Structure 1
Amino acid sequence: MDRKDNFINIKHLYNRGGFGIAYSDLHKLSRKSIEKVVNELLEIPKESADLATVDPDEVRRQMQRQSELGAKKELTEAEKNERQEITRIQNEQSRKLNLDWMQRLIGTEQPLLEKMTLFWHGHFACRSNNPMFAQQLNNIQRKYALGSFKTLLVEVSKSPAMLQYLNNQQNRKGRPNENFARELMELFTIGRGNYTEKDVKESARAFTGWTYNKEGAFEFKKALHDDQIKVFFGNTGNFDGEAIIDQILDKPATSVFICTKLYQFFVNETPNEAHIKELSNYFYRQKYNISDLMRKMFSSAWFYDKENIGTKIKSPVEFLVGLSREFHVTYNKPQVLIQLQSNLGQYLFNPPNVAGWPGGKNWIDSSSLMLRMKIPSLVLNDGLIDFSGKADPEDEAVIAQGKKSNIKPIKSAIDAKADWPKFLEGLPKKISPVELATFLLQPAVSAKVTGMIQNNLSLKNTAIEITSMPEYQLC
């Protein structure tokens, strides 16, 4: 492979396996083989740093006080205010958690690890009003993001955030709650059509007693567990939750389901059955080792086929993070990132439902596309932005019922600073506007784009113009 093709392929690899790549890094890596670059991308330190935004001890104190107030029949005015203050503090902590992860995504030197964490964040979609629970789940997804899928699945299933969100806290002997058991199979592992309603009911019995304690840690309560014989996937035994997970993973259909979602996230929204079969057979043989699977995917010749380059719509987070990394953007008021996420339709830690964000073409509508095309010039030139785009799903429900929404458009200063000297210094000295476009855009540069920029004198203005094009929304 000549260096030009290698340049294109490595750029594609870092756009999909990360959030883009600096020109200077791309220039160096293009001298190496794809195999070596893939291996380097997959090199993850044994211990990755957890997000530590939320102080668990502080949250536990808040939980204890909430429990005490909730046990009272009547509250004084002071106690009502105290309860509201705890809620306010927790909401503020949740926003801070969101921003800390966004800043990590923007600044990470482990792009694949964070990209995989983002994938699992959408796959195991979960909302929690408790910021400690949300942080725990995010750190679980990061810790096992490239490890064993079985371990990841078990740990996610035991997390207080998921147990609370899918009502397993109410799942007990004699009164099984099927919510978690159903979503475990439908959305997290094997997919519809591969289990029966009886399998849901029997597996719900197996997960009775899976709960968490007041410290926010998993706890198996034997007294609440149904220890009678169950029949699952035609097998009979006194199964507990982990035995159910083992049987789900024994089914090759689970490998197909997971590989299909990974393929759609990293390769192409349109599944290719032959490629997915190749991946899923390998994933199953490797006992669900995620790193092995990703190495296989990124090393496959078809990953670099033309139909897979520049054809995937960036998610809002991929778009914001990629732009910020590309131009070394500093946000003096980071909370603007929350407004941008919300208006673009991907607010981290707040998926629309347990199925996660739909993705693909669902990311784009007339209002969000116009906002996306405005953002680069506003971020890179520090402008004012009118926030009146997508509502939160809960707010959309209010609007659908004909009720008045409290949401009002807000004008806000982006208050961001791009490091233009650092960006420009990383480019070749005599790079042309068209060459810059070829680097910044994943789709092939069209004659129309060439005609618009070829006589530009300023690389800075050219970069802003290119990133404001619809083509920049693709990776």
Structure 2
Amino acid sequence: MEKNKNLHLLWRSGFGPDLSDIRDVDELTTQQLWKKIKDNASATLPVISPSSSFVRDNYDNTGRSELSKEQKEEWNRKIRQQSNKDIKELNNRWIQSMINNDNQLGEKMSFFWHNHFAIRQNNSLLQEDAFQTIRKHSVGNFADLLREVSKSGAMVLSLNNQQNRKRSPNENFAREIMELFTMGVGNYTEKDVKEAARAFTGWGVNQAGQFTFNAKVHDNGTKEILGRRGNFDGDDVIDIILQQPQTSIFIVTKIYSYFVNETIDTDKVAALAISFREDYNILRLLEVIFTSDWFYQPQNRSNRIKPPVELLVGLQRFSPIMAMEEALQYRIQRLLGQALFYPPSIAGWPSGKAWLDSNTLIVRLQLPQIIAGIATVQLQAKSDDDLNMGLSNSDDLIRLQKRGKVTANTAWDSWLSQTSETDITTTISLPNIDKQTLILLQTKSRGDKNNYAHNLMNLPEYQLC
């Protein structure tokens, strides 16, 4: 059925349908819908910045050399406080862009790369700059993306590459670029890491938070990396890594797992990787995936548990909610275990069943009612303070309810009035739902389509896409 294929495409290439997409779902062929998605992806993603420029204006501390130790500590405390506020604002503005931006593919790929390059950086200037780099190249060229993110101030400082000097090489970045960002475990040796670390010596960050190269501390000696020998620098290492067949296999495998199926079809991945390695064109790779017949096969549909951000954004794109207060967005992210800009580690967030436990499942199943003010939940937030965005305190219990924090979407009522319960069922829940369950929901809703739609979104099937 074309409608189900279109809904599948909207959830995988973006964050699900909004009410304006429903006519397209019904009337366009899947090929026509993909063309529209691809055309929208040609638009530049909007720049998302915090409203305050305090951290950017004051990143350089050298002008305060006359301050006492106590005064410097107070100044740094102000930087930390403002950075915390800025990152919360970036979080909220990005969520709003995910919800409202027509370039859903660009937003979805930004989210994917945000998890792939899972940088833990509490300075908002550095975090923002790395984030803008990811957005700039989200559907562009992976080689450009890799090189620019690797040189971002956030990456350099987070993986201690500014401490990497010829007399005392630091291996952190050299190891992670191979293990997490390009090739994966088992496809390089410890010698490759040590030699690559020598090549990356001299990389640092200047007083504006931007990449800089210090030739005085760079190791100019001959290195042997991944079978190549020469006087390599960091850019040379990245070129060598990109030439490895395993790099394209690793990236395609990760994209296949996220967009198609966590059970990897190695033959399909191998074929995709050969083409991808020709020019590392991200959009072309996605087009091959989203226009392939096998992408729409039953085993590749409704087989993914929505990550918390996908669930939260998708619900707001489609449901009666038009706007949610920033604090409520944060509380829900904390409870569900995925707060933007605060990955649990450099390896990123988990996937699949790792998203579900006794706490998160309760919130997930009640989320439509919670944010509409129909239900209230009080649960323990995750204990990791990075995940809690510095909001941990002696009482981590979070109580979620409306209290004026949600603005209604008036288009919802208009859509309901023109839609049958059968169409509501198809549009909201992609998997096949047991007929007896539908009968029970219809009885429970007593002819109220709004309640019926909410009850559908409460079903376990809605957790899948």
State TM-score, norm by structure 1.
0.91
Distance 1:67 1:209 in 2: 25
Distance in 1 between residues matched to 2:43 and 2:354, nearest whole Å: 36
Q: Partner letter of residue 186 of structure 2?
A: G
- 1:407 positional shift: 4.3
Q: Structure 1, residues 158-212: CA drift from partner, whole Å, max 9, x if none?
A: 0000111111011111211100010000000011111100100111111111111
Matched, 1:176 2:182: no
Counterpart check, 1:161 vs 2:154: yes
Give yes or no for contact 1:66–1:83 (8 Å, CA) kept in 2.
no
AA in 1 matched with 2:276: F
**Structure 1 residue 319: Cα displacement:** 0.4
Q: Summarize deviations over 1:188-246 as a string: whole Å, max 9, x none.
A: 00111111001001111111111110101111111121111111112111111111111
Provide the residue aligned with 2:383 in structure 1.
391
* Counterpart residue number, 1:336: 328
3-state secondary structure, aligned to 2:326: coil
Secondary structure, aligned partner of 1:216: coil
How many Å separate the matches in 1 of 2:460 and 2:366? 10
Q: Is the counterpart of residue 263 in structure 1 residue 278 in structure 2?
A: no
Q: TM-score, normalised by structure 2?
A: 0.92
User: How far has the Cα of 1:360 moved from its partner?
Assistant: 1.1
Amino acid in structure 1 at the alignment position of 2:3: F
Alpha-carbon distance change, 30 to 430 in structure 1, aligned in 2, over 3 angstroms:
closer
Distance verdict in 2 for CA 1:142–1:422, change over 3 Å:
same
Matched, 1:42 2:38: yes
Quote the residue 1:293 is aligned against. 285
2:180 is paired with a residue whose SS is helix
Select 1:458's aligned residue among 429, 448, 460. 448
- Of 248-257 and 346-355, deviating more is 248-257
Q: Does the C-alpha gap of structure 1 residues 311 and 121 become closer, same or farther in structure 2, counting only changes over 3 Å? A: same
The answer (yes or no) to whether the contact 2:106–2:139 under 8 Å persists in 1 is yes
Aligned equivalents of 2:395, 2:163: Cα separation in 1: 34
Q: 2:15 corresponds to which residue?
A: 19
The structure 1 residue matched to 2:90, chosen from 77, 93, 97, is: 97
Task: Give 3-state SS (helix, strand or coil) of 2:305's partner.
Answer: coil
Number of matched residues? Answer: 458
Query: Per-residue CA shift, 1:401-448, capped at 9, x if unaligned?
Result: xxx97343132443443535412323572512x431221012112123
Change (3 A) 1:125 1:110: same
Tell me the amino acid that sits aligned with residue 51 of structure 1.
Answer: I
1:300-352 per-residue CA deviation (whole Å, 9 max, x = no partner) reads 11110111111100000000000111125244531111111111110100000
SS at match of 1:236: strand
2:119 and 2:343 in contact (8 A); partners too: yes
Aligned to 1:128: 121
Aligned to 2:55: 59
- Superposition RMSD in Å: 2.3
Query: Which position in structure 2 is the counterpart of 1:399?
Result: none
Secondary structure of the residue that 2:170 maps to in structure 1?
coil
Q: Does 1:208 align with 2:201?
A: yes
Say if 2:337 and 2:387, in contact at 8 Å, map to a contact too.
Answer: no
Q: Which amino acid counterpart does residue 302 of structure 1 have in structure 2?
A: W
User: Contact between 2:171 and 2:193, CA under 8 Å: does it hold in 1?
Assistant: yes
- SS of equivalent residue, structure 2 residue 216: helix
Q: Give the counterpart of 2:415 among 403, 408, 426.
A: 426
Q: Which residue of 1 aligns with 2:406?
A: 417
- Distance in 1, matches of 2:305 and 2:272, equals 23
SS at match of 1:373: helix
The Cα of 1:253 is off from its aligned counterpart by 1.0
**Aligned residue number for residue 401 of structure 1:** none
Corresponding position of 1:446: 434
Q: Are 1:33 and 2:29 counterparts?
A: yes
Shift of 1:47: 3.2
- Counterpart position of 1:75: 69
Displacement of 1:462 after TM fit? 0.5
Q: Which runs of 5+ in 2 are unaligned?
A: none
Q: Distance in 2 between matches of 1:281 and 1:259?
A: 10
User: What amino acid is the match of 1:64?
Assistant: D
Q: Is 1:6 aligned to 2:38, yes or no? A: no
**What do residues 258-316 of structure 1 show as CA deviations (whole Å, max 9, x unaligned)?**
0111111111122121221222122123x110010000000111110111111100000
Structure 1 spans left out of the alignment, 5+ residues = 397-403
Alignment of 1:207-286 (within 5 A): 207-285=200-278
Q: Which runs of 4+ in 1 moved over 6 A?
A: none
1:350 counterpart = 2:364: no
**For residues 365 and 320 of structure 2, what CA distance do their matches in structure 1 show?**
19
